[in-house]
Amino acid sequence: MKRNYKHILFPFVLCGLMAAQTSAAPGIVKGRITDTQGKPVAQVVVTDGRNFTTTDGTGHYRMESDAERQPLVYISTPSAYKLPATDGIADRFYQFQKADSQENTCNFTLEPRETPTRRFVYIAISDPQVKTDAHLDRFRKETVPDLKCTVDSFKGQEVVGMAVGDLVWDAMNLVEPYKECVSHLGLTMFQAIGNHDFNLKYADMERTAVPESGYGEADYHKAFGPTDYSFNIGQVHVVTMKDIDYQGGKKYKEAFTPAQLAWLKKDLSYVPKGSLVFLNLHAPTSNTTAEGSGNTSNTSELLDILKDYQVHIFAGHTHFYENAQPAANIYEHNIGAACGAWWAGHVNRCGAPNGYLIVEVDDKNVKWHYKATGKPSDYQFRTYKPGEFKSQPKQVVANIWDWDPDWKVEWFEDGKPKGPMQPFEDEDQDFITMKNGKAEGYHTRHLFRAQPSTSARTITVKATNRFHENYTQQIEL
């Protein structure tokens, strides 16, 4: 979740923390990766979030690792193997090191796929953001059953879920209940960390002088594992990263550290250039909400690292649906929040309904659509009659939340084509109504309008997405 304030980290504070982070010489982590038959698995990428290595022909690996500052060792699951999970939650691809040991042993077992994966479904969910039992109850009774129905509708296909942060709202006591909600759904569920998933008492590991005294990601690590990790499925290399520089007590910046960007560059060095990459973040890179105040501050460095790949970025944080293309090879989906505008109702700040994004992958072909919670899959926009959208009293208005410039939006009056609808920027009426008529200035760019004649009886709005799929709604005047 993004609130509209910034916090400044004074350089002397950072220097003091870094000076305090002196430690003994790095230890060693080693181990072996085998399949379920005990056969060695070679060339598996292993990392501790800072250092990398790969397994040799016998499945063994060995690398330097500071177990105190890099508490987890984990693998990037190759596409020829099933994604490790327990009760539907991604698991067993990571292990904890013993912080007081100079030599740790971490072994992993991978289960081979019977056949290569060509098609799979990827479901991105942002900001469940449960703070109270009432929030959790809504998530459990509204979002989860809808998600289960979606998963069931793709029988015969593998489904991967990715929650892109703010799983909870500073409520560490709800991490496990959230985890229970997304278990046993028939998919493999991964998570990213958001600014509200840190323990308020502590700064993040990067800023913590004595990790054994506590650090911000500890609860997340215990429940879900590493915050910067990757895996492979089909033709896609999937990367998840923390882009919240957390200072403790709700103070944070949307940013990657230099060490994280170096980690990403090294992770991608094992991936052939030109490959399809899914990058999961909490904060987006290119949303225009509040003049982009919720975007990562070092986006340019990120885009440079990604320049040789075909990339889809999935992000949340803003509670404001917006698609963007920050570079020719990159498409960003800043999806609507599962909780909408913080469980205040059933819409986000831009008017997009509570929901999640369904992505269908076939080899390197990717198509997607947004699934509104409690609505049929073809509910892709909301129409307003003249007089319903208060700032447009004579206009028919359509809010098309998954819109991008490749969409075509047309209207018909009494069956006769009238051409394209006019795009405009304004605050969504449903959001204003939900806020008891109080406008908050969050103008969206996915609004369209048309003015019917005084004799018109029926207006039809037809929206065609980039995949040539048509959606229509008819309004009786």
Q: Is 154 in the same domain as 198?
A: yes
| 7, part of any domain | no
Instruction: Compute the average pLDDT of residues 382-407.
Output: 98
Q: Is 206 in the same domain as 279?
A: yes
Let me know: does 451 contact 477? Beta carbons within 8 Å: no
Choosing from 55, 79, 110, the residue where a domain stops is 110
pLDDT at 404 exceeding the cut of 90 = yes
Q: Which residues are CB-contacts of 174 (< 8 A; sequence separation ≥ 6)? A: 130, 131, 136, 168
Instruction: Compute the average pLDDT of residues 348-361.
Output: 98
**Alpha helices, DSSP H only, in 225-312?**
258-268, 299-305
pLDDT band at residue 2 under the 50/70/90 scheme? low
Q: Is 359 in the same domain as 409?
A: no
> What's this model's pTM, rounded to 2 decimal places?
0.94
pLDDT at 7 exceeding the cut of 70 = no
Bridge-partner residues for 65, per DSSP?
A: 27
In this structure, what is the dihedral angle of CA atoms 61, 63, 65, 70, given to the nearest 10 degrees?
Answer: -50
pLDDT at 475 exceeding the cut of 60 = yes
Over residues 169-199, the pLDDT tens digits come to 999 999 999 999 999 999 999 999 999 999 9
| 6, part of any domain | no
Q: 354-366: buried (b, 16+ CB within 10 Å) or exposed (e) per residue?
A: bbbbbbbbeeeeb
In this predicted model, which residue has the larger pLDDT, 2 or 226? 226
| 58, part of any domain | yes
Q: Is 130 in the same domain as 104?
A: no
Residue span of the structural domain in which 424 resides: 382-476
pLDDT band at residue 21 under the 50/70/90 scheme? very low
CATH number of 418's domain: 2.60.40
Instruction: Compute the average pLDDT of residues 374-385.
Output: 98
| 192, part of any domain | yes
Rounded Cα distance, 387 and 470, in Å: 26
pLDDT band at residue 9 under the 50/70/90 scheme? very low
Which pair of structure tokens corresponds to residue 10? 């004074």
Instruction: Compute the average pLDDT of residues 248-252.
Output: 95
Q: Is 211 in the same domain as 337?
A: yes
Report the number of distinct structural domains present in the chain. Answer: 3
Q: Is 20 in the same domain as 79?
A: yes
Over residues 427-473, the pLDDT tens digits come to 999 999 999 998 888 899 999 999 999 999 999 999 999 999 999 99
Let me know: does 131 contact 168? Beta carbons within 8 Å: yes
| 255, part of any domain | yes
Over residues 193-247, the pLDDT tens digits come to 999 999 999 999 999 999 999 999 999 999 999 999 999 999 999 999 999 999 9
Give residue 11's pLDDT: 40
% of the chain at pLDDT higher than 90: 92
Over residues 272-331, the pLDDT tens digits come to 999 999 999 999 999 988 677 889 999 999 999 999 999 999 999 999 999 999 999 999
Give residue 22's pLDDT: 45
pLDDT at 255 exceeding the cut of 70 = yes
| 9, part of any domain | no
Instruction: Compute the average pLDDT of residues 93-104.
Output: 97
Q: Is 400 in the same domain as 264?
A: no
Rounded Cα distance, 242 and 268, in Å: 16
Give residue 346's pLDDT: 98
Task: Provide the 8-state DSSP code for 142.
Answer: I
Q: Is 319 in the same domain as 433?
A: no
Beta strands in 171-316 (DSSP E): 188-192, 229-233, 236-240, 244-248, 251-254, 276-280, 310-315
Choosing from 372, 390, 415, the residue where a domain stops is 372
Over residues 42-88, the pLDDT tens digits come to 999 999 999 999 999 999 999 999 999 999 999 999 999 999 999 99
Q: Is 144 in the same domain as 72?
A: no
Q: Is 429 in the same domain as 332?
A: no
SS3 331: strand
Q: 405-436: buried (b, 16+ CB within 10 Å) or exposed (e) per residue?
A: eebebbbbbeeeebeebeeeebbbbbbbebee
Q: Mean pLDDT score of the chain, rounded to an integer?
A: 95
What order do you get walking across the sheet with 408-413 strand by strand? Answer: 416-420, 408-413, 458-464, 470-476
Give residue 329's pLDDT: 98
